[in-house]
């Protein structure tokens, strides 16, 4: 699961806690995983989760990106360079907490996608890629799906490996190419986001496929 809509009855009680928190036991971070209180709503609150979300996890950072909490302005959240694909759509609602499957991505709200469901094959399906921590974007919806206007003065990109508050914190679209010169944009109240994959290392942006 990616995030859970607040107030929904769902066995995957994630409360907008990100996918990177869910895989912590597989990243040799079981003690940190066990600190998380999955019953707090929203998930960023509570004493245990306030402590957990602040951890810096080296495996969730790209060594080529010097971005840090100072760059995002979020001192109580450990940043991440890794985001998941929402394919060629940026539509979302309620700050991303009710983002629904568009039929073209693996990870989404309460996803239970299995390997057998990936009809194009796992080696042809993007799962995750990179973002630059604190990369500026405009706090406005994209128009015509692929055009951002306004001023790129928001800097929450990659601010938290823990909290999937909005699309800028956990996702990227394929509407624009890697390291695009186009302005990115997203609005917390819902609409259409335009968020690309980015990196600072030589050789372009790394992408993890579903295989």
In contact, 186 and 210? CB cutoff 8 Å: no
Average pLDDT of every residue of the chain: 84
Query: In the prediction, which pLDDT does 66 show?
Result: 93
Query: In the prediction, which pLDDT does 38 show?
Result: 85
Residue 69, CB-side half-sphere exposure with 13 Å CA sphere: 11
SS3 19: helix
In contact, 186 and 168? CB cutoff 8 Å: yes
Could you tell me which residues are beta bridge partners of residue 194?
185
Domain chopping of the chain, boundaries? 57-210
- pLDDT of residue 196 exceeding 90: yes
CA 128 to chain centre: 9
pLDDT in tens, 125-177: 999 999 999 999 999 888 876 889 889 999 999 999 998 877 788 889 888 89
Query: In the prediction, which pLDDT does 12 show?
Result: 45
Query: In the prediction, which pLDDT does 67 show?
Result: 92
Handedness of CA 72, 78, 80, 83 (dihedral sign): negative
Query: In the prediction, which pLDDT does 6 show?
Result: 46
pLDDT in tens, 101-118: 455 788 776 677 888 888
Query: In the prediction, which pLDDT does 111 show?
Result: 74
Q: 79 pLDDT band (50/70/90 cuts)?
A: very high
Please report, rounded to a whole number, the percentage of residues in the chain having pLDDT higher than 90.
Answer: 50
Could you tell me which residues are beta bridge partners of residue 92?
191
Query: In the prediction, which pLDDT does 189 show?
Result: 65
Report the distance separating Cα 50 and Cα 108, nearest Å: 24
CA-angle at 178, arms to 28 and 64, nearest 5°: 50
pLDDT in tens, 59-76: 999 999 999 999 999 999
């Amino acid at each position: 699961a990616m995030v859970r809509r607040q107030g929904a009855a769902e066995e995957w009680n994630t409360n907008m806690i990100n996918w990177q928190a869910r895989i912590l036991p597989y990243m040799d971070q079981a003690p940190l995983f066990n600190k998380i209180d999955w019953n707090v709503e929203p998930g960023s609150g509570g004493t245990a989760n306030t402590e957990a979300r602040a951890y810096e996890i080296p495996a969730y950072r790209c060594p080529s990106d010097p971005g840090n909490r100072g760059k995002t302005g979020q001192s109580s959240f450990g940043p991440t360079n890794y985001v998941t694909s929402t394919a060629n759509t940026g539509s979302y609602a309620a700050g991303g907490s009710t983002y629904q499957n568009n039929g073209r991505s693996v990870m989404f709200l309460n996803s239970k996608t299995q390997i057998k469901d990936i009809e194009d094959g796992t080696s042809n399906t993007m799962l995750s890629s990179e973002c630059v921590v604190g990369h500026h974007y405009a706090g406005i919806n994209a128009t015509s799906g692929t055009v951002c206007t306004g001023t790129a003065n928001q800097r929450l990109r990659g601010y938290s490996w823990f909290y999937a508050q909005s699309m800028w914190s956990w996702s990227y679209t394929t509407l624009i190419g890697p390291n695009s010169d186009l302005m990115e944009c997203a609005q917390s109240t819902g609409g259409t986001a335009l968020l690309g994959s980015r990196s600072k290392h030589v050789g372009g942006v790394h992408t993890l496929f579903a295989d």
